[in-house]
């Protein structure tokens, strides 16, 4: 397996971040255009309208748990630890990020959103455990 394959799930997450930025721009633009918000409301997040603050919150989410994902991907690459299992785990994590973002930006159903989050966090934890075992040369 090519070790560089680990960069594809990373690029998929980068794409998600840019999609969320586009959604945020669109919602903020429409909020100002419709009169729901004034440009000055975007100075402080607490005065931002609900239609766009959810997107802004999701964008923040993309730089929390996914930081551990990106670090792990780079660590796997550097230590020659990319294999079918680790690549599958990384893709599954990215799928949970897309589901989490979709739920958050659509109906924002907290139960569904938290399930996607915790599933992704669990997948990432398993991947980190595998990485530790890889470093110990157990696997």
Q: What is the pLDDT of residues 86-95, one digit of tens each?
A: 999 999 999 9
Is the pLDDT reported for residue 15 higher than 90?
A: yes
User: What is the C-alpha separation between 62 and 70, in angstroms, rounded?
Assistant: 11
Tell me the average pLDDT of the chain.
95
* pLDDT score recorded for residue 48: 87
Per the structure, the count of domains in the chain is 1
Residues 6+ apart with CB under 8 A from 16: 62, 94, 97, 98, 101
R_g over Cα of the chain: 18
CA 122 to chain centroid, in Å, comes to: 14
Tokens of 109: 């159903």
Q: Can you give the residue range of the structural domain that contains 73? A: 3-135
How would DSSP label each residue in the chain?
Answer: --GGGGHHHHHHHHHHHHHHHHHHHHHHHHHHHHTS--GGGGGSGGGS-HHHHHHHHHHHHTTSHHHHHHHHHHHHHHTT---HHHHHHHHHHHHHHHHHHHHHHTT--HHHHHHHHHHHHHHHHHHHHHHHHHHTT--
Q: What is the pLDDT of residues 39-82, one digit of tens each?
A: 888 887 778 888 899 999 999 999 999 999 999 999 999 999 99
Residue 76's CATH number: 1.20.120.550
Tokens of 62: 């993309």
* pLDDT score recorded for residue 114: 97
User: What is the C-alpha separation between 47 and 95, in angstroms, rounded?
Assistant: 32
């Amino acid at each position: 397996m090519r070790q560089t394959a680990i960069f594809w799930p990373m690029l998929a997450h980068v794409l998600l971040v840019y999609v969320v930025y586009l959604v945020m721009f669109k919602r903020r633009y429409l909020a100002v255009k419709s009169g729901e918000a004034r440009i000055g409301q975007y100075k402080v997040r607490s005065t931002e309208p609900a239609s766009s603050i959810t997107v802004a919150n999701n964008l923040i989410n993309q730089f929390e748990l996914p930081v551990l994902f990106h670090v792990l991907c780079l660590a796997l690459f550097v230590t020659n630890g990319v294999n079918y299992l680790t690549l599958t785990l990384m893709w599954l994590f990215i799928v949970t990020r897309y589901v989490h973002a979709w739920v958050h930006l659509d109906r924002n159903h907290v139960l569904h959103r938290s399930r996607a989050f915790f599933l992704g966090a669990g997948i990432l934890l398993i991947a980190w455990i595998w990485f530790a075992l890889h470093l110990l040369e157990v696997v």
